[in-house]
Amino acid sequence: MAEEVLSTMRTVRSFACEKRELKRFEGLLSSTLNVNRKRALAYMGYTWNNEFSDNAILVAVLFYGGHLVMSGKMEKEELITFLLYQMQLGENLYNLSYVMSGLMEAVGASRKVFALMSREPHFQLDGTQKPLVNGNILFESVSFTYPSRPNNPVLSDLTLNIKAGETVALVGPSGGGKSSIVSLIEHFYEPSDGTVTLDGVPIKDINHVYYHQKIALVAQEPILYDGSVRHNILYGCDFATEDDMLNASKMANVHDFVSELEKGYDTNCGEKGVQMSGGQKQRIAIARALVRNPAVLILDEATSALDTESESLVQQALSRCAQERTVIIIAHRLSTIEKADKIAVIVKGRLVQTGTHTDLMNETDGMYYSLVSRQLLNAKVGDE
């Protein structure tokens, strides 16, 4: 709880919840104290019982052994020998209790560890093919359900053809399955039915490392790592040179603002990129994708959380890098998707409409026209 609150202190301060969180923390401390109090009492009883038993045995041996010596039934040397054996045996038994408690703790902890080590993934990343990639992606009768929600199908008999070099925008209501399509293209999951192919080759048969050099994703909330700007741009891209990084940075509008920083590309981004603004993080994420020179670029609402100026810079970067690539865009803003070569409307896991912005707007009874009319895509539609 302390880690959660300290890492989200801005939110706590913005809602004036300092005292409330303090009381919650004190309540959890009280619960911890009660557990530790019971543990201390149990340990005290255990220790007293051990010491009492040890001393009771010693007194009994001395009493009965002394009686035997005084009555002439035992020699005093034998009593001393017996006492030494008894003390040695008692000490070993006492230490054995610690060994048993440690052993049981280890058994309890190791069960989870061995369960994780023995866990088999749902599908293996064992593809071997390295085909020449142009960027033609085909969803053929694809159905998909998340393993955690087996009774809630996300995609149903979806057939979608994304041609090489084409910019395709996926639009539709939230929860319709757009991000699930991206997850399947990224091979985070396997479809329940149907196949996803890249240039005619099932993506499960393509070499994992090679495939993700050709397919690059820019997420809605890009994650930067605690390291330099250079480290974040070249993340997982050992084959890229310094010139490749600079070219990707210029294409993503990163070079200008990084050049103004005191340490340039050696500037630390901070944990989760906390030292960078939202627009800067997004552009660094785009540069990280572009440095691989991918054949397919996926943009999952890459400009949804940006201000107008930052969005304009990111849009320029995206327009520049969309040339000669297959680009898949998930967005709700009309300004982002109206220039797409093709718009695919996804509703409840099904493809209900495809076409250009102009074609779909002419279908006044269609879902796309309805979305635009409700200004779910962009307030700009109000003027149009």
- Pick from 117, 149, 174: which residue ends a domain? 117
- Per the model's pLDDT, the better-predicted residue between 133 and 314 turns out to be 133
Residues 221-267: tens digit of each pLDDT: 777 888 888 888 888 777 777 888 888 888 777 887 888 877 787 78
**Where are any strands of DSSP class E within 86-179?**
137-145, 153-162, 167-171
Residues 261-307: tens digit of each pLDDT: 777 877 877 777 777 777 778 888 888 888 888 888 888 876 655 56
**Residues 339 and 192 reside in one and the same domain:** yes
**Residues 220 and 273 reside in one and the same domain:** yes
Residue 327 lies in a domain: yes
Q: What is the CATH number of the domain that holds 142?
A: 3.40.50.300
Which pair of structure tokens corresponds to residue 377?
């895509």
Residue 38: pLDDT band with limits 50, 70, 90: very high
**Mean pLDDT of the region 139-153:** 84
Give backbone dihedrals phi and psi of 338, rounded to 5 degrees, phi first: -70, -20
In this model, does residue 43 exceed pLDDT 80?
A: yes
Cβ atoms of 334 and 173 within 8 Å: the answer is no
Residue 131 lies in a domain: no
Residue 186 lies in a domain: yes
Mean pLDDT over each residue of the chain, to the nearest integer: 81
**Residues 151 and 110 reside in one and the same domain:** no
d(Cα 207, Cα 56) in Å, to the nearest integer? 71
Residues 193-216: tens digit of each pLDDT: 888 888 888 888 888 888 888 888
What sign does the dihedral 342-137-322-269 (CA atoms) show? positive
Cβ atoms of 286 and 314 within 8 Å: the answer is yes
Q: State the amino acid at position 113 in one-letter form.
A: V
Give backbone dihedrals phi and psi of 108, rounded to 5 degrees, phi first: -65, -40
- Pick from 74, 89, 117: which residue ends a domain? 117
Is 0.85 topped by the overall pTM? Answer: no
CA dihedral 148→150→151→155, nearest 10 degrees, is 100
Cβ atoms of 291 and 237 within 8 Å: the answer is yes
Residue 122 lies in a domain: no
Helix (H, G, I), strand (E, B) or coil at 354: strand
In this model, does residue 382 exceed pLDDT 80?
A: no
**Which domain does 261 fall in, by range?**
137-382
The total number of structural domains that make up the chain: 2
**Mean pLDDT of the region 48-61:** 84
Which pair of structure tokens corresponds to residue 331?
């967005």
The backbone region for 172, taken as left when phi is positive above 0, alpha when psi lies in -120 to 50, beta otherwise, is left
**Residues 232 and 376 reside in one and the same domain:** yes
**Residues 112 and 174 reside in one and the same domain:** no
Residue 38 lies in a domain: yes
**Where are any strands of DSSP class E within the chain?**
137-145, 153-162, 167-171, 193-198, 201-202, 215-218, 296-300, 326-330, 342-347, 350-355
Residue 125 lies in a domain: no
Cβ atoms of 130 and 142 within 8 Å: the answer is no
**Mean pLDDT of the region 116-145:** 84
**Residues 190 and 310 reside in one and the same domain:** yes
Residue 338 lies in a domain: yes
**Residues 225 and 354 reside in one and the same domain:** yes
d(Cα 99, Cα 93) in Å, to the nearest integer? 10
Of the segments 154-168, 323-337, 353-367, which one has the largest average pLDDT value?
A: 154-168
Fill in the DSSP letter of residue 206. Answer: B
**Residues 369 and 226 reside in one and the same domain:** yes
**Residues 373 and 303 reside in one and the same domain:** yes
**Residues 303 and 372 reside in one and the same domain:** yes
Residue 144 lies in a domain: yes
Per the listing, tokens 């007194």 go with: 59
**Residues 95 and 181 reside in one and the same domain:** no
Going edge to edge, which strands form the sheet with 350-355?
215-218, 296-300, 326-330, 167-171, 342-347, 350-355
**Residues 205 and 287 reside in one and the same domain:** yes
Residues 173-182: tens digit of each pLDDT: 777 788 888 8
Of 19-23, 34-38, 334-338, the range with the lowest mean pLDDT is 334-338
> Which is nearest to 195 in space by CA: 245, 157, 252?
157
